[in-house]
Chain A
């Protein structure tokens, strides 16, 4: 198995090499942070191909603006902010922000313990990808990135009320999706149970 040889032992050396525009440092940064940043971009873009394009653009921006990085913060956090910004720019160019879907006011509370134990990251990303762009963006910014509504409103150019309403709608949709997954999983389990009982009966005869 190939293993990445650590050319740069510390992050400071890596950043210094990036400032010297060394191609080896570019490759190390890409291989170290590409997976995480691709997950970030996928959460926002909901399309794997678009997410990869946005990620590549984000890495280009990282290499170009490396002189603006202040070493008092985390380098990964700085890259993540750049990726988020690139994703928002991509969405702003192509999509409508204030798309709203009619939802039922019935709030269904799923079993979160079951969901935490049974659903993997790919399932959760698939649920997020089913949200409209506005819902998904606000939920990502508020729930995962930790932005406030004021900051979201300032970043997206919307009001705080719009941000709050879209967040609540995103939550409702995600709860519904988790519940569907739960019901689906229980249904499949019931189907499996019924199938097992039927086979046992036939074998017993």
Chain B
């Protein structure tokens, strides 16, 4: 700051008096002044706590902006890395893994069938000496009977088969494997493939690696097809029923076809109301249709026998 007093010539005598006497004067401070100064400085240091850098409001804006930029960069990098052609292999691998995952349930079912076949073959080999081919408790003897001896089982035998428990390690799968072809072939055509049934089961533990591969391929090809021919009485009874239905009750068939379109549950309820305990044409499982067919055959045979007795 420029001092005007050093250069000004017209200085007032009052100013000169006071400036000369008071410029360098000193007054004795009170005692304890420095202690008060120290106490005030300590209080000021305690008043200003250390604030972390992330809690300062001035920096929070920049931190928020940096976080936004970071997020945008992250998503952009992920998007671009997904679109890059260099990652096609990984995409292909991922797609292959996905298809493999999707195909696992599909392939698991045949695998289970194969396992069931293997188990079935094992049980064939193990149970045959014990029970013999004529026992009705196991399914395989019936299959052998159909395949080898062309012995058609009666409806009573079939009912017995379904009612009695099967003492097999996996009873459901063989029964399903047998029952599926029965539905597929309603006509009396007892055609089986003896070659496939004659194949002996391969023990995977004893076989070497290439043999395992061949055996697995053979196992994959094996299909157990069992058809049960309807008894002659049943066929005759069905023809009689058809002829009677064509002559007398065409409207009832239409009603039944309409009901078939509706829910099975309500159809059964209506039939129970009508007094028919057993649903003859339930579109349920194959076992029911088989039973219904057997029931119809027996019913018609009884009806036939009634007029002859009378």
Contacts and interface: CB of A to CB of B under 8 A. Distances in A.
Contact of B22 (A38, A52, A121, A178): A121
Contact of B26 (A30, A38, A115): A38
Given A27-B34, A55-B29, A148-B2, A175 B22 contact: no
Size range of the interface on A?
35 or more
Interface stretch (B8-16, B59-67, B156-164): B8-16
Interface residues of B, number: 33
Interface in A29-43: 30-31, 34-36, 38-39, 42-43
A116 B36 CA distance: 37
B39 to A, nearest CB: 10
Contacts of B16: 112
Nearest to A42: B27
Contacts of B40: 56, 60
Nearest to B44: A60
A124 B33 contact: no
A116 B4 CA distance: 23
- By secondary structure, the B interface counts as helix
B14 A52 contact: no
B18 interface: yes
Given A39-B27, A42-B27, A60-B41, A125 B22 contact: yes
Contacts of B4: 142, 146-148
Contact of B33 (A34, A36, A143): A34
A130 B137 CA distance: 130
B27 A124 contact: no
A31 B14 contact: no
B26 A39 contact: yes
Contact of A52 (B15, B21, B24, B30): B30
Contact of A35 (B20, B23, B29, B38): B29
Among B12, B16, B44, the most chain A Cβ lie within 10 Å of the Cβ of: B12
Interface in A56-73: 56, 59-60, 63
B10 to A, nearest CB: 13
- By secondary structure, the A interface counts as helix
Given A52-B30, A60-B44, A124 B21 contact: yes
A83 to B, nearest CB: 13
B37 A115 contact: no
A26 B13 CA distance: 39
Interface of B: 1-6, 12-30, 33-34, 36-38, 40-41, 44
Interface of A: 23, 26-27, 30-31, 34-36, 38-39, 42-43, 52, 55-56, 59-60, 63, 112, 115-116, 119, 121, 124-125, 128, 139, 142-144, 146-148, 151, 171, 174-175, 178
17 contacts: A30-B33, A30-B37, A38-B28, A42-B27, A52-B29, A60-B37, A112-B16, A121-B25, A124-B17, A143-B14, A144-B18, A144-B22, A146-B1, A146-B2, A147-B1, A147-B4, A151-B1
